[in-house]
Amino acid sequence: MAQNVEVKAKIDSIDTFIKKASQLSNQESETISQEDIFFNCSNGRLKLRMIDEKKGQLIAYERPDSSGPKISSYKIYETPAPHVLKETLTKSCGILGIVKKTRYFFLIGRTRVHIDQVDGLGAYFELEVVLSADENEESGVHEAEALMEKFGIDERQLVKGAYLDLLLSQSSEAV
């Protein structure tokens, strides 16, 4: 499985982060509307990212639900028939939840920077430092921490878990 070092943080406003990411990456953002459908599974997480009618990604991943830089192992399967895959997985596994977001994507070196406006949650900042097959976690953590400092992210902003976890905890608190 491929690996990256991830960081997720709650932010007040996306505008400042988009401006900073544009400066650091020397490019404008790619803006993407995403719908991630999470399915029940026994190991890690399984989600189908609906990109459009003829493109989707089935993503299986495992990562600890801790704040700060953490290793994530993942496998991505590109599909030209996301609706067929959604129907099949819904019937066999059941849907755990759905996350909808507008993502502003940047690439800073090998690090994927996501500035997300998540429906029902607000604004978030994510880093994914992509590791090579023979690379240790420490170099990715060091790179993530350096970028966190450039963006002014502090420990109080760091988030545990996935967006789905946050949405599910909100709905359980409302009951």
**Is the model's pLDDT at 39 over the cut of 80?**
yes
**Is the model's pLDDT at 175 over the cut of 80?**
no
pLDDT of residue 171: 75
pTM of the model: 0.92
pLDDT of residue 172: 66
Q: Note the Cα 144 to chain centre separation in Å.
A: 14
Q: Averaged over 84-99, what is the pLDDT?
A: 97
**Domain range holding 115?**
2-173
Q: Averaged over 96-114, what is the pLDDT?
A: 97
Cβ burial, residue 146 (10 Å; 0-12/13-18/19+): exposed
pLDDT of residue 174: 55
Number of domains in the chain: 1
Percentage of the residues of the chain whose pLDDT score is greater than 70: 98
pLDDT of residue 122: 97
What would you report as the CA-atom Rg of the chain, rounded to the nearest whole angstrom?
16
* DSSP β-ladder status, 2-10 and 122-130: antiparallel
In this structure, are residues 111 and 39 in contact, taking their beta carbons and an 8 Å threshold? Answer: no
Q: What is the mean pLDDT of the chain?
A: 95
CATH code of residue 165: 2.40.320.10
Q: Averaged over 45-54, what is the pLDDT?
A: 94
Q: Averaged over 5-31, what is the pLDDT?
A: 96
pLDDT of residue 94: 98
pLDDT of residue 127: 96
State the DSSP code for 79.
E
Question: How would residue 170 be classed by pLDDT, with cut points 50, 70 and 90?
Answer: confident
Q: Averaged over 44-61, what is the pLDDT?
A: 95
